[in-house]
């Protein structure tokens, strides 16, 4: 069995806490590796070393830091197949999904090549008599990221890339469920020219998280995960005087208007609802057709599409639509919520509860589920299921449909499918959700825009990647300068000339 490590000061380092977590193969249920769980002492030592390394890295000009990012892009592309295979082996998602995971992280690194442009300050000539005024963006020092299992390449890169490009050192605490890819990315950063100690990967659990939150040297923390943990990290981090951004759960609605292309909408719901086994914070988990006729027609189109979905291990090739969920506990929670939907009166029109895959009976596979006639008081509507379960909530009118998305406690992403421009424009303007798609089911912005949800999906005033990331990982210093221009008389400066 493989024993994984931490990445400290540019090399793999064995854990010393004596505590480990098992890393499973989700397709078989077998333990394939052990990952060390760092103690507070180990975490604090990694932070101290990072702080020393940051001094020289922060003084490196942004153009040179951008060249490290440029080299990193080439290395990720070179190792795409290797990264995707390792990601699929530990997470369970298909190889195409795994490559997409890596690619969306890669795009943020591409954006970070432009660090010199993003870090330019402002300058005002002659703000007053003989006075110039200018601003500088300076690194914070040491920043940290606490990242989830569902995107073990993308989200670490979203955090590491901008933080490092801004001149910070970075402590990454990845998910202990699939830690291999973050360690591989650290190796690639070293190969790209990143100095030792500037990036530390410390594996761990709550003890490590709390150590990050309480360490006085850590100046900023980024987190992605569930809302209860986001609230905990945001509250404790802020109370310790840190800059914190936390992104939590989601319950994303897709409104389908009567004038929509229903084949297009149905295809979009299949990809958005069941891709990656639904383990995405931007997954569409609630379809809201407007009008009974629209709902009946949509359900009729969804059923055969869902029944044709192919579920299996990533090793089965590109013919698989989605793989297992990440753990046995995740599978049990999904099926428990499905049972609650049945008990509370929702109509289970596609029932995946009995799904078994021959030869993989111990794997964490969950069949696809489709509920109709879901109401807003049901658990399957209120809670984030994070699995291959799509709920249909019927709305009589457009206003009622918008109200469902507006009133839900989560506000990560949403979408509307319609041919009417006025309806789409109204929806985009009014909806209290952070990311909006118009005939686009998963509206994840590209790297040069910014990613973030509203309400209980996001905590903090700056989002991930794009210009917001460079604001989050820097402090702005403003300088007001006056250089006296007195006339020298008799070899002495004439201060009167300044009056």
Question: Is-contact 299 312, C-beta < 8 A?
Answer: no
- b/e sequence 389-404, b meaning 16+ C-beta within 10 Å: bbbbbbbeebeebbeb
Q: Cα-Cα-Cα-Cα dihedral of 376, 459, 464, 230, to 10°?
A: -80
Q: Which of 275, 386, 296, 266 is closest to 338 using CA atoms?
A: 386
- In angstroms, rounded to a whole number, what is the distance separating the alpha carbons of residues 102 and 300? 35
- Look up residue 158 and give its two tokens: 């979203």
Q: Within its chain, how far is the Cα of 331 from the centroid?
A: 22
Helix, strand, coil share of the chain (percent; to 5) = 40, 25, 35
Q: For strands 284-289 and 252-256, give the pairing.
A: parallel
- Look up residue 320 and give its two tokens: 């698989």
Q: Which of 112, 166, 246, 281 is catalytic?
A: 281
**What count of residues does the chain have?**
499
Query: Which residues are registered as beta bridge partners of 414?
Result: 253, 436
| Integer Rg of the chain from CA | 25
What are the two backbone dihedrals, phi and then psi, of residue 89, each rounded to the nearest 5 degrees?
Answer: -60, -35
Question: Is-contact 401 418, C-beta < 8 A?
Answer: no
From first CA to last CA, the distance across the chain in angstroms is 78
Q: For strands 369-372 and 347-350, give the pairing.
A: antiparallel
112 is a catalytic site residue: no
- Look up residue 74 and give its two tokens: 């080439």
Using N-to-C axis directions, what is the helix angle for 154-165 and 95-112, rounded to 10°? Answer: 10
- In angstroms, rounded to a whole number, what is the distance separating the alpha carbons of residues 55 and 57? 6
- In angstroms, rounded to a whole number, what is the distance separating the alpha carbons of residues 417 and 406? 17
- The side-by-side arrangement of strands in the sheet containing 169-173 is 11-13, 6-8, 199-201, 169-173, 142-146, 218-224, 243-247, 458-459
Question: Is-contact 357 363, C-beta < 8 A?
Answer: yes
Farthest CA pair distance, the chain: 99
Enzyme catalytic residues: 281
């Amino acid at each position: 069995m493989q024993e994984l490590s931490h990445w400290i000061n540019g090399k793999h380092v064995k854990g010393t806490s004596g505590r480990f977590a098992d890393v499973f193969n989700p397709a078989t249920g077998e333990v394939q590796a052990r990952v060390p769980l760092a103690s507070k002492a180990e975490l604090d030592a990694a932070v101290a070393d990072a702080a020393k390394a940051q001094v020289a890295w922060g003084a490196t000009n942004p153009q040179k830091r951008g060249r490290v990012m440029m080299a990193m892009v080439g290395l990720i592309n070179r190792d795409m197949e290797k990264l995707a295979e390792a990601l699929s082996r530990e997470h369970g998602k298909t190889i195409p999904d795994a490559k997409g995971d890596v690619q969306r992280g890669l795009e943020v690194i591409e954006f970070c090549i432009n660090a010199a442009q993003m870090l330019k300050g402002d300058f005002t000539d002659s703000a007053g008599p003989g006075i110039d005024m200018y601003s500088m963006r300076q690194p914070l020092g040491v920043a940290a990221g606490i990242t989830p299992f569902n995107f073990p390449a993308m989200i670490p890169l979203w955090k590491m890339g901008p933080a490092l490009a801004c001149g910070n050192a970075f402590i990454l605490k990845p998910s202990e469920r699939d830690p291999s890819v973050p360690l591989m990315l650290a190796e690639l950063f070293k190969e790209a020219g990143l100095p030792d100690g500037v990036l530390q990967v410390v594996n761990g659990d709550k003890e490590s998280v709390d150590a990050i939150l309480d360490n006085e040297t850590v100046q900023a923390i980024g987190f992605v995960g569930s809302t209860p943990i986001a609230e905990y990290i945001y509250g404790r981090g802020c109370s310790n005087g840190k800059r914190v951004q936390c992104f939590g759960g989601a319950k994303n609605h897709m409104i389908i208007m009567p004038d929509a292309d229903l084949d297009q909408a149905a295809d979009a719901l299949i990809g958005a609802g069941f891709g990656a086994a639904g383990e995405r914070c931007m997954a569409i988990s609630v379809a809201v057709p407007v009008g009974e006729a629209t709902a009946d027609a949509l359900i009729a189109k969804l059923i055969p599409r869902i029944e044709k979905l192919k579920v299996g291990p990533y090793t089965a090739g590109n013919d698989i639509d989605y793989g297992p969920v990440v753990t046995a506990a995740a599978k049990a929670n999904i099926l428990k919520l499905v049972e609650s939907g049945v008990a509370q009166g929702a109509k289970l029109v596609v029932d995946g509860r009995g799904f078994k895959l021959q030869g993989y009976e111990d794997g964490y596979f969950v069949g696809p589920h489709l509920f109709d006639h879901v109401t807003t008081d049901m658990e399957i509507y209120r809670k984030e299921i994070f699995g291959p379960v799509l709920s249909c909530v019927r709305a009589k009118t457009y206003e009622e449909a918008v109200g469902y998305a507006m009133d839900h406690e989560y506000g990560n992403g949403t979408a509307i499918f319609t041919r009417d421009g006025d309806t789409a424009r109204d929806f985009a303007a009014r909806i209290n959700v952070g990311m909006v798609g118009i005939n686009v089911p998963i509206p994840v912005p590209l790297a040069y825009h910014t990613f973030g949800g509203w309400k209980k999906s996001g905590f903090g005033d700056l989002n991930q990647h794009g210009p917001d990331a460079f604001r989050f990982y820097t402090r702005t210093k403003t300088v007001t300068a006056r250089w006296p221009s007195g006339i020298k008389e008799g070899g002495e400066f004439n201060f009167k000339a300044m009056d």
